[in-house]
Amino acid sequence: MSSRTLNRRQIVGMAGAGLALLGSRAARAAAGAPADWAAPDFVVLNARVYTMDPQQPQAEAFAVKDGRFAALGSTLAMKSLAGKAQTIDAQQMTVVPGFIDSHNHAPGNELLYEVLVGNPYEVEFVTIASIIDKLRVKAQKTPADTWVEGYFFDDTKVKDKRALTRQDLDQVSTQLPVMVQHRGGHTAFYNTKALQLAGIKKDTANPAGGTFDRDANGDLTGRVTDRARDVFNTVGKHMTYAGEDAMRRDRDGLAFISKQFVRYGLTSVCHEAGNLQALQEVRARGALLHRVSYEAEGPELAAMLSGGMSTGLGDEWIRLGATCEHTADGSFSERTMAISVPYPGTNGYRGNVTETQDDLNAWCERVHRAGIQMNCHANGDVAIDHVLTAYERALLLKPAADARPKITHCTLINDDLVRRIKAIGVVPALFTSYAYYNPDKFHFYGEELMKRCMAYRTLLDAGVPAAAGSDFDPGPFSPLMGIQGMVTRTGWNGEVWGANQRITVDEALRVNTLNGAYATREESIKGSIARGKLADFVMLAEDPHTVDPAKIKDIKIVRTVVGGRTQFSA
């Protein structure tokens, strides 16, 4: 039974016999599993196993052989299979399939080598003085004309409770260009020197798809949004690294973030671009601990287009996936996404559309014709409409039964958009950790809009296989933080936004596992604990079904296993 025969309702996991298709026989056939399961490599006993396989939703124990699940059932039954195999007594702990992050920028070398002015992983408030101090230290070591940059800034995690300004960054340097990047990735803050180098003056007009923000007097604040940042790319110098130096940094960064991923229970991650050669070298050195769906852009995407490489090429560790997110609008967290109503409390601002419909159409058609899974970044309802228009057109020009075009974020939806999403089989990858991490930004939208944002409930009810995309660095990548937010819609500060979009723990687990596998077209080999599938699983100290929902994010990851190999243990 090929995966092509699975329909979306089955994947979403509504009760139904069709889901049995995901079970043992299909998976084993697809996976080319050995016929002889009799002598497992190890067995896990005494566990509360939530399989995400409707054919056998729960088990006490399972056996692993050659990196795959070989059998599952009662502790007694698995004990009798064990023979001389290693036994792991789970002591009633919970086991779930390995978590899958369907959208992640995996910026390992940024974490290792750049100035971090905010906390990448957790909610933490910083002072503007601390940002200035860190960047001053960097500026002292920075050659003339070269950028001083800070990363992971979050404008609503500042103890000063005010905006970061040009004047703040002038305190870092008046001689060097200074830039602080918002972790959301769509806005940045510049000092006066940087604005001068870019030729931006008080009366410079905003370009299409971006803004140079101004205060009440019309003076530049230093905040620049979306496409307006393009002009800064061509001024000043950046620290550059060549040859083996650059490769070593990229390898180190990837190896570093791979360790972080498995520490949080992630076993598969969609990487937004990055150094593909470094990724393979990390794997060859045995330092790639998680599986990668590589989403190409720039030269790598061009090589795919010209070289006949389609989505799916690769193996279970590194596979070419959809394209990197192709950006159609601004940011949810930075309040620049393109929406159909004015932002509450503004002078009619409706966000930034960052690409014309014609360009979007042409881009989608090109990648779709090449057999590459389309993937566009669209947050606002206006941008989602544009992307759907481009997908519908591409699919009309070259019909494909099961193209699974991806929409990264797909944040603000309405009934008509959901109907169109379902009609062409879109896989959306929604924000995960935002519900917990970003409640301090949702008042910019208000409850009426938040009821339709990160709309897991609506999409799952419609039979759309929503997947989980942390978007790190914009959002922390902890899957358990994501699940807590999906289940409670309650932020770190206790605020509840869009409670109508809550989903159950079981649904949230499925979103973070099986639906992620579906998004990369790998549901026949991973995403659930079923005979023949890759033995990717996580052992949790407590059961998210029974723990206080406000403490799901604090559940300890005891062990992360990928392909039968323990990649992390507490």
The binding site for Zn ion (CB under 5 A) comprises 471
From residue 457, alpha-carbon distances to 282, 440, 454, 500 in Å are 38, 22, 9, 7
Q: For Zn ion, which residue has the nearest CB? A: 471
From residue 405, alpha-carbon distances to 270, 313, 388, 423 in Å are 15, 17, 9, 11
303-307 contacts, C-beta under 8 A, 24 or more apart: 304/370, 304/372, 305/366, 305/367, 305/370, 305/372
Which are the contacts of 35, defined by CB distance < 8 A and separation ≥ 6?
none
Please say which residue, 101 or 536, places its beta carbon nearer to Zn ion: 101
Strands 220-226, 266-272: pairing is unpaired
* Rounded Cα distance, 560 and 538, in Å: 5
CB of 105 to Zn ion, least distance (A): 6
Which are the contacts of 563, defined by CB distance < 8 A and separation ≥ 6?
67, 68, 316, 534, 535, 536
Please say which residue, 250 or 471, places its beta carbon nearer to Zn ion: 471
CB of 53 to Zn ion, least distance (A): 30
Please say which residue, 260 or 528, places its beta carbon nearer to Zn ion: 260
CB of 293 to Zn ion, least distance (A): 14
Please say which residue, 155 or 471, places its beta carbon nearer to Zn ion: 471
CB of 421 to Zn ion, least distance (A): 19
Please say which residue, 101 or 471, places its beta carbon nearer to Zn ion: 471
CB of 35 to Zn ion, least distance (A): 43
* Rounded Cα distance, 150 and 189, in Å: 10
Running DSSP on this structure, what letter comes out for residue 229? G
Please say which residue, 281 or 471, places its beta carbon nearer to Zn ion: 471
Please say which residue, 330 or 498, places its beta carbon nearer to Zn ion: 330
* Rounded Cα distance, 313 and 331, in Å: 31
Q: How many other C-beta atoms are found inside a 10 Å radius of the C-beta of residue 82?
A: 16
Token couple for 460: 């799952």
CB of 408 to Zn ion, least distance (A): 6
CB of 279 to Zn ion, least distance (A): 18
Phi-psi region of 516 (alpha: psi -120 to 50; beta: other; left: phi over 0): alpha
